[in-house]
Structure 1
Amino acid sequence: MQEPLIGVLALQGAFEEHQKCLEAVGCRTRQVRVPEDLTDLDGIVLPGGESTAMGLIGTATKTSEGETMWECLQKFSKNKPTWGTCAGMILLAEKCIGTSAVIEDGQSLIGGVDICVCRNYFGSQISSFEMATPPPPGISGNHDYPGVFIRAPAILSAGPSVEVLGTVSATPCRHAAVTLQELEKKIMAGENVVKMSVVDALERKSSQEVDYIVVVKSPAENAEEKKDSDETKPSIVLPGAADGTNAREVICAARKGHLLCTAFHPELTEDNRWHEYFAQMVKQTKL
């Protein structure tokens, strides 16, 4: 059987590094910039980088039929293995808080995985770090994986269809802490939070002086929620803070069927176990 052909979204971010890791575990690779590049791929990696920039580029690029790159990726990811790392993980999420105010309706998402992600949970670029994280299951080598976190997001909650592959205990940056505080208020008030805009926590003067965070919803979402309001209630559950600290247990790796998410940058290490794990996912789908 021919080795799988895996695309790496090359709109922005660390796509070349992912290619090298995938090729090191025996895969063929292709850079993906336009919808036509998705042809004949067995899977795709959505790399780390700047999710806002990728969202703007992805929604601006259109096919001759008028479909955006994002719409084509949504169709592709419904059936083919797709792995989002860091910014790519944000794009696969169904819910995102701390979204960018640059995009009119918040962060552009591809969706598909029932997770709630907090952008920049671990802080800014200068707050980048490496920490031990759980290794991918079923891959030789049980020692911890060197997770590289750069302006990294965190998964706050996951739906019942999502398999949690790894968690870490980490303190949110001040920016994220304010957003989480407001999110908790909204959940307690019974609101179904879909997207939340940015709060600049660095400008806070006291706990009482927190900007109100607007929940951004499309007319279709509002209509659907009104229709289902008597039948369903918000189900987001935030992990509790650890005793005596502001740390929370957050999810750093998760999987829903053929969709894989990791909060860290596996392409920036010399440990290719996560790339081997995804390659196995792709091969199993081809059988």
Structure 2
Amino acid sequence: MSGPRVGVLALQGDTREHLAALREAGAEAVTVRRLSELDSVDGLVIPGGESTAMTHLLQAFELLEPLRARLADGMPAYGSCAGMILLASEILDAGTAGREALPLGGIDMTVRRNAFGRQVDSFEGDLDFSGVDTPVHAVFIRAPWVERVGESVEVLARADDHIVAVRQGKVLATAFHPEMTGDRRVHKLFVDLL
């Protein structure tokens, strides 16, 4: 018996690492680049990368509105870093007009892009993470943070008093990159939601 079929949005970002993490967490992991592929999955991972580039590619591949519709219909999703930004209902510092990151509305939250700073300000650290028994090692690269959460959003982790991991129903988001550490507990948490 195989696990749930989980897609990884493969337009830009660290797709390969998420595919490996999902497989190790018990999912059947596949890439998603087309509407037919999006329609075939039980859940979706939106990887880290660059949120404005990902928005542009979602539009170019005619996936932006279908993805919004699947999320509105209750499709489980997990977003790391840029994926967290896109899953938000509101994005602060979204970019320049015509080249901005557009929210998908998967989680009732306001996210600030590049909140921890530029690439040179990237860092790693151990975080207490709700639902996981020991700290999670987190890699932050030009990471966002969450400035506001809605009433139905659960805060899962904080770094320097900033919200960096959240969950609303079956949608999960982290400001950091667990796929880069070898620790599969965040991916396992997502797969278990399915």
Task: Give the shorter-chain TM-score range.
Answer: over 0.9
Q: Structure 1: 5+ residue runs without aligned partners? A: 62-67, 170-248, 283-287
Q: Among 49, 65, 70, which residue is 2:64 paired with? A: 70
Q: Name 1:5's counterpart in structure 2.
A: 5
CA distances 1:165-185 after superposition (whole Å, capped 9, x unpaired): 11121xxxxxxxxxxxxxxxx
Distance 1:12 1:136 in 2: 29
TM-aligned CA deviation for residue 112 of structure 1: 2.4
- Relative to total residues, which structure has the larger strand share, 1 or 2? 2
Q: Name 1:57's counterpart in structure 2.
A: 57
Residue 111 (structure 2) pairs with residue 117 (structure 1): yes
> Which runs of structure 2 are paired with 1:1-287 in the superposition (5 Å)?
1-61=1-61, 68-78=62-72, 79-101=74-96, 103-104=97-98, 106-137=100-131, 139=132, 142-169=133-160, 249-282=161-194
- Whether the 8 Å contact between 1:21 and 1:267 is mirrored in structure 2 is yes
- Whether the 8 Å contact between 1:164 and 1:255 is mirrored in structure 2 is yes
- AA aligned opposite 2:124: E
Distance 1:89 1:158 in 2: 13
Let me know the Cα RMSD of the aligned residues. Answer: 1.3
SS, match of residue 95 in structure 2: coil
- Whether the 8 Å contact between 1:136 and 1:273 is mirrored in structure 2 is no
Q: Name 1:240's counterpart in structure 2.
A: none
TM-aligned CA deviation for residue 40 of structure 1: 2.5
- Whether the 8 Å contact between 2:52 and 2:100 is mirrored in structure 1 is no
TM-aligned CA deviation for residue 105 of structure 1: 7.3
- Whether the 8 Å contact between 2:80 and 2:177 is mirrored in structure 1 is yes
Q: Structure 2: 5+ residue runs without aligned partners? A: none
SS, match of residue 166 in structure 1: strand
Distance 2:168 2:95 in 1: 25
- AA aligned opposite 2:89: E
TM-aligned CA deviation for residue 135 of structure 1: 2.7
User: What TM-score do you get using the length of structure 1 for normalisation?
Assistant: 0.65
- Whether the 8 Å contact between 2:2 and 2:27 is mirrored in structure 1 is no
User: What TM-score do you get using the length of structure 2 for normalisation?
Assistant: 0.95
CA distances 1:124-179 after superposition (whole Å, capped 9, x unpaired): 11221101112350x4xx2210010000000011110111111121xxxxxxxxxx
- Whether the 8 Å contact between 1:9 and 1:44 is mirrored in structure 2 is yes
Distance 1:71 1:136 in 2: 32
- AA aligned opposite 1:114: D
